[in-house]
């Protein structure tokens, strides 16, 4: 994105932030982020294990409850779509035969 692509409000905001001088020229180059350090596989797995311990896992009753809700919802929508399909089959059979 060049400065020509910015509207007046965006240029004013950049001037207030100090990124543009009074003539509208950039005052400083954008900061580059520091390169990230790579870690080995063992350190990676340690960090994964630490993060997994922080996760709030659902209890067994919650998993059972949510599984029942999902199963019932899928069955209801399957019956609904199947009913519409059957209705459309009857309509098209009546219309074309």
The C-alpha atoms of residue 77 and residue 71 are separated, in whole angstroms, by 10
Domain boundaries along the sequence of the chain? 59-97
pLDDT by 10s per residue, the chain, length 97: 667 777 888 888 888 887 887 777 777 766 777 778 889 999 999 999 999 999 999 999 999 999 999 999 999 999 999 999 999 999 999 988 7
Residues in the chain: 97
Model pLDDT, residue 88: 97
Q: Phi then psi for 20, rounded to 5 degrees? A: -125, 145
């Amino acid at each position: 994105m060049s400065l020509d692509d910015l509207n007046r409000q965006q240029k004013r905001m950049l001037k207030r932030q100090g990124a543009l001088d009074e003539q509208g020229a950039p005052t400083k180059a954008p900061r580059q982020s520091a390169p990230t350090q790579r870690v080995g596989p063992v350190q990676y797995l340690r960090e994964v294990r630490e993060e997994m311990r922080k996760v709030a896992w659902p209890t067994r009753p919650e998993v059972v409850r949510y599984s029942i809700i999902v199963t019932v919802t899928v069955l209801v929508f399957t019956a609904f779509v199947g009913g519409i399909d059957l209705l459309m089959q009857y309509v098209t059979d009546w219309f074309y035969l």
